[in-house]
Every structure is written in C-alpha cells, then in structure tokens.
Amino acid sequence: MANVRQISVFLDNKPNQLTGVMKLIKESNINIRALSIADTKDFGILRIIVNDTDKTVDILRKASYAAAVTEIVAISIPDAPGQLSRALDILGSENVNIEYLYAFLGTSDKSVSFVIRVDDNENAASALTKGGIIQLTENDISEM
Amino acid sequence: MERYWNEEIECMSREEMKKLQDERLVKQVKHVYENVKYYRDLMDEKGVKPEDIKGVDDLCKLPFLSKADLREAYPYGLLAKPLSDCVRIQSTSGTTGKRVVAFYTQHDIDLWEDCCARAITAAGGTNEDVCQVCYGYGLFTGGPGLNGGSHKVGCLTLPMSSGNTERQITFMRDLGATILCCTPSYAAYIGETLHDMGYTTDDIKLKAGIFGAEPWTEEMRRSIEASLGIKAYDIYGLTETSGPGVAFECSEQNGMHINEDNFIPEIINPETGEVLPEGEVGELVFTSITKEAFPLLRYRTRDLCVLSREKCSCGRTLIKMTKPMGRSDDMMIIRGVNVFPSQIETVLIEQGYSPNYLIEVDRVNNSDTLDISVEMNPDQLSDKVKDMQDQERALAAAIKTMLGISPKVHLVSPKSITRSEGKAVRVIDKRKLHD
C-alpha cells in the first residue's frame, strides 16, 4: 500500500503568511487537494496534499520556507453515521496511535475522505485493509 | 610558516618592549598635559604632574577617561593637536548615546593602518592576495582601517563596503577574493547567501576572514569557517583608540595580540578602578602612547576580558587579550542576573540553530521578561505541533542552564529575522522605553 505524502510548512503567526504560500502555489498551477493548519501561540504548521509533491516542495524551499514531507494514511468512507467511529475502532484495536486527522473533499457526495497521521503507517494500512476500509493512494488524490 | 608585518616589534623581548613603552608613555603624558586642558584638569585634581610618570609602572597614578568624558568634551575637548595638523575624523555609530568623534593626523592614520597590516599579515595576507573589505566605509572605522591595512600589505583591495550581498558574492567570485573583512554577522550572512545562490565553497577562493566590531562566539567562528571554507580571525579595536587593529588574532586563533607598542593595556576592577593582576577578568583600559591628535590616556573600554603573557606558538611576544566577554553596553541585567547576548548565541549554535536571533526584554508587573525569537531549523520541521513545541522547550531549558533564568523561546520561520550588514541589532530592551 503506497502511503500518501503530505507537505508541512512552517508559518509565523502573523498576517499574510498563508497568503504568501498560496500565491506561490497558485503561480505554479499546483492544485491543493487537502489542507489543514495546526496553530500555536507562536507559529502554525500548514499541512497540504497536492497534485505534485516534489515540485511544490522545491518551490517552497526555493522561497526559503521550511517544508517537510511526511507519509500519512488517507481513507475514503461512506458519508453515513458511525463510519468514522468504525474506522477508528479498527485502528484502535491494532494499537495504532493517531496524532491528528482532518477531513477533505472527495469526488463523491456519498463518501468522505480523511487524512490520518498515525505512529505506524504499515500497521495502520494492514488493519484498515483487513477491516475493509478504502485507502486512497497519492495518485487517487491527485486525480480527484 | 608564520609571517609578520613588523617582526622586530611583534617579536620584541619583554624588556625592550617595556623600555619602548616607558619612553613613549613619558613623552605622551607630557604632550597631553600640555595640550589637552580637559585631561590636565583631571590630573591636577588628582595631584599628578607629568614628571610623576616615569614609566609604565606609574600608569596607575593617572586618572581614567570614560565614555562620559568623551561626551562632555565633545567635539574638541580632547584634541591634542591644532586642527590644521588633523586630516580626518572617524566616528562611532552613536547607538549607545551621543557620538564619539576621533581625530587623526596623517601620522595617526599611518600607525593605525600599520596595525591593520599586522592583522592581515597574521591572517596569512601578502601582496598576492585579493582583500574584499565589506565593513562599512565612511564614519565607521571598519572600512577605512582595513582598507588602509590592505593597501600597506599590497593586497588588491576591493573597497566594497557593506550591503548588496549578491553583488559581494559576484565580486568575490569574479575577482577571486582570498581574504574577507567584515563583521562576523555579515560574514555569516554572506555564507548563507552564497549557498542560497547555489554555490559551494569550491566556487570561491577565500582562505581567510578578519572579523570584528561586534562580539562573536567560538561556535559562530566554526560555523562561518565551515560555510565559507576559511580560517576566521578575530580583530579588535574601538574608535576611541583608533579603530580595528588595536589587537588581532594569529594562527593560534586563541586570543588577540595587542599592539602594545601603541596601546598599553590594563585590566581593572570595574567597580573600584583597582588594577588587577594578569589572568583576572576585568575591564580593559587602554593608553594610547603614539597617537598625536586624539591620545586617550587610561580610557575605559567597558569591555570585559583577560590579559595573558603566556608564550604564543606564533612567535609573537605581544601580550594577548581574550575575546571580550561582552561590552558592558551589551550586558543586560535581567531579574538581577547579568546576561550577555553572546551566551545565548553559544547555546543556539550548540543546539543547531542559526545565529540569527532577537532578544526582547520587558517588564511586566514589575518582573523582567526575556523573550528570544529564534529561526527554526528547517531540517527539524515536524508536521506535529508537539514536536515543535518540544524544540522550543528544549532550547529554553538549555538557555536556562546557561543563564540561570528562564526565557520564553519563540520559533520563527527561517530568514525572517532581519540580517545585518554591519553591526547586528540583537537586543530590544523595552524596559528603557518605559522609563
């Protein structure tokens, strides 16, 4: 199972920081598929999944941003009550620890997609496969 | 093979040097007493006559001069020659108060440039070298001093002054600069820009750097040496005595030799003024024994350091001073503890951060606060907030171990702290604004 690469970008907690990154991305015709921001008093960490990870990292670093790539798990589950709980149960039963997760837009209004950052990608992937949860590849996401 | 600019002086025996200093001091005290009313009044007040000064051993009888005296006597009060004999002034940046203006006769400039030539030679410079001077030119002594020294040595001199860093690198590459002279913070920035432009140390010919005019740490030296592929030498000086070249480092890179044929150093207890024995930490005091126009006797530099006459492997016998532990101007008293920016810088570099930082001191509810903004290390970026906050905490803990007080550390993005092209501004003390 190919994991999905997510880009993290360090942002100062002051006006126009996100705008700066978005402008760069816009100018390079890169499409953002998923996005979340973690904020602290001093700084934020922008997390994005894009349709061209290598190019995006290159552009960001050239513009002096601190950018890092981490592998995450992405799943697609039916848009119905109890579905996220079921997926989390599967991970919990295999003792997979979740650092954070966020939802993003899929292509269908009958399903929801999630990025899940776990401590053990392999273990999580095999648990999800066994539990019948659809996992998205980086290719799936970039073609959404 | 160590090279000297003036071997006779630089390697002179202690006895001969003392004899030279004795003669010059006696002459200088007489010159000052006769020509500088301000200092004559100080001597009279203390009941000291020029005849009482028979040599270096009598130096302690003379009154001190401080920056306050320079301000009071501004602009001509300490001038010892008619203006018709003076050919130039240089001036301090005035960041810590009123400007100091120093006057030079042609003889004074020659001596000063000679001191700088000794420093360039000690860093391996010869007439085969290309010396890029990116200290500020103008009123600041850095540019003119090293420029003059470089001419004396016969280096091809690139009088760049500071700023326009990409152009600095273009000249450095196109003209094959081998020696770089600037402030250490600017050297660090040049190194950073070089790598940002996609070059490595293989693309430049630099072999040595002569960096001074602001305090810097051993860690910063190693970091600059790695980033520019050079040996980095410290140089010391102050406008009040002439400019850079009062003391300079040799191949041993362990303390700076003072040009004591021109400047007699003493270390005193800054509280009592008492002269301290060699090896003790105290305030550095200089007596200029060769300058004509602006000859300060027993000038208190407010720099804290140690003097040593231990034998140096370079063969020079000139007394050595340690890198100043900080100018008392830079020293902050936070919650009753003496804090120097250089201590914080040491921790940052040890922990893998860049030496670009900003210290903000404030007073909230009658208690001092210490906030340090540090550029995060891009190699340490994590997608997890917790990891980043752990980095802040670890750095704060390391700084607390060094200083004894707890700072708040704020990680900021790489290159977001303004780079300095001259002297870096690293401390904002907001407490002063409230007074």
Tens-place pLDDT, residues B357-381: 999 998 887 778 999 999 999 999 9
Q: How many CB atoms lie within 10 A of CB A7?
A: 22
What CA–CA distance (Å, rounded) separates B22 from B317?
A: 17
Per-residue pLDDT, averaged over A105-109, amounts to 77
Interface residue B352 vs chain A (CB under 8 A): no
- pLDDT attached to residue A2: 54
ipTM of the complex: 0.88
Tell whether A77 and A123 lie within a shared domain.
yes
Task: Work out how many domains chain A is built from and give that number.
Answer: 2
Choosing among A43, A48, A69, A117, which should be mutated to test the B contact, i.e. which has the most B CBs within 10 A? A43
- Residues A61 and A94 occupy one common structural domain: no
Q: How far is A20 from chain B (nearest CA, A)?
A: 13
Residues of A with Cβ-Cβ distance to B382 under 8 angstroms = 8, 45, 68, 70
Q: What is the pLDDT of residue B346?
A: 86
Report the pLDDT value the prediction gives residue B435, as an integer from 0 to 100.
Answer: 43
| A8: nearest CB among B383, B392, B411 | B383
Residue A56 and residue A92 in one domain: no
Residues A81 and A60 in one domain: no
Mutate to test the interface with A, among B379, B389, B413 (most CBs of A within 10 A): B413
The minimal CB distance from B413 to the residues A6, A65, A68 is found for A65
Interface probe, candidates A10, A14, A62, chain B, greatest B C-beta count within 10 A: A10
- Span B217-257, pLDDT tens digits: 888 899 999 999 999 999 999 999 999 999 999 999 999 99
User: Are B381 and A6 an interchain contact pair (Cβ–Cβ within 8 Å)?
Assistant: no
Do residue A121 and residue A86 come from a single domain? yes
| Domain region containing A136 | 72-142
At which of A70, A90, A106 does a domain end? A70
**What are the tens digits of pLDDT across the range A70-82?**
999 999 999 999 9
> For A27-79, how does the pLDDT look when each residue is reduced to its tens digit (9 = 90+)?
999 999 999 999 998 999 999 999 999 999 999 999 999 999 999 999 999 99
Which residues does chain A have within 8 Å of residue B414's beta carbon, measured at their own beta carbons?
10, 64-66
B415 touches chain A (CB under 8 A): yes
Q: Smallest Cβ distance to A10: which of B376, B386, B392? A: B376
User: Hey, how many other C-beta atoms are within 10 angstroms of the C-beta on A79?
Assistant: 12
Q: Determine whether the interchain pair A42/B384 forms a contact, defined as Cβ–Cβ distance below 8 Å.
A: no
Q: Does residue A83 share a domain with residue A136? A: yes
Q: Are residues A88 and A61 in the same domain?
A: no
Give the nearest chain B residue to A45 (CA atoms).
Answer: B383
Q: Measured between alpha carbons, how far is B248 from B124 in angstroms, rounded to an integer?
A: 12
Say whether both A29 and A48 belong to one domain: yes
Residue in chain A nearest B377 by alpha carbon: A66
Can you tell me the distance from the alpha carbon of A73 to that of A52, in angstroms, rounded to the nearest whole number? 17
pLDDT in tens, B169-213: 999 999 999 999 999 989 999 999 999 999 999 999 999 999 998
Q: Can you give the pLDDT at residue B96?
A: 55
Measured CA to CA, the distance from residue A141 to residue B367 in angstroms comes to: 53
Question: Hey, are the CB atoms on B413 and A47 less than 8 Å from each other?
Answer: no
Task: Please state whether the predicted TM-score (pTM) of the whole model is above 0.80.
Answer: no
Along the 435 residues of chain B, how does pLDDT read in single tens digits?
789 999 999 999 999 999 999 999 999 999 999 999 999 999 999 999 999 999 999 999 999 999 889 988 999 999 999 999 999 999 986 655 567 899 999 999 999 999 999 999 999 999 999 999 999 999 999 999 999 999 999 999 999 998 899 999 999 999 999 999 999 989 999 999 999 999 999 999 999 999 998 778 888 899 999 999 999 999 999 999 999 999 999 999 999 999 999 999 999 988 889 999 999 989 999 999 999 999 999 999 988 899 999 999 999 999 999 988 766 667 787 887 778 888 888 899 889 898 889 999 988 877 789 999 999 999 999 999 999 999 999 999 999 998 888 999 999 999 899 887 776 778 888 876 554
CATH of the domain at A41: 3.30.2130.10
Of B377, B383, B410, the CB nearest to A45: B383
**Do B383 and A10 make contact, defined as CB atoms within 8 angstroms?**
no
Q: Which of residues 85-144 of A touch B (CB under 8 A)?
A: 99-100, 117
Same domain, A20 and A77: no
pLDDT in the model for residue B327: 64
- Yes or no: say if A4 and A71 are a contact pair by the CB < 8 Å rule: yes
Q: Which residues of B touch A68 (CB under 8 A)?
A: 378, 381-383
What's the CA gap between B213 and B136, in Å, rounded? 11
Mark whether A109 and A136 lie in a shared domain. yes
Record: contact A42-B392, CB cut-off 8 A: yes
Do A53 and A92 belong together in one domain?
no
DSSP-based three-state secondary structure for A93 = helix
| For chain A, percent of residues with pLDDT exceeding 70 | 99
Q: Domain ends where: A18, A53, A70?
A: A70
Cβ distance A66 to B412 less than 8 Å, yes or no, reads no
A121 and A61, same domain (yes or no): no
Cα B268 from Cα B360, distance rounded (Å): 31
Q: Given A23, A49, A70, which residue is the final one in a domain?
A: A70
Q: Which of residues 357-396 of B touch A (CB under 8 A)?
A: 376-378, 381-386, 388-389, 392
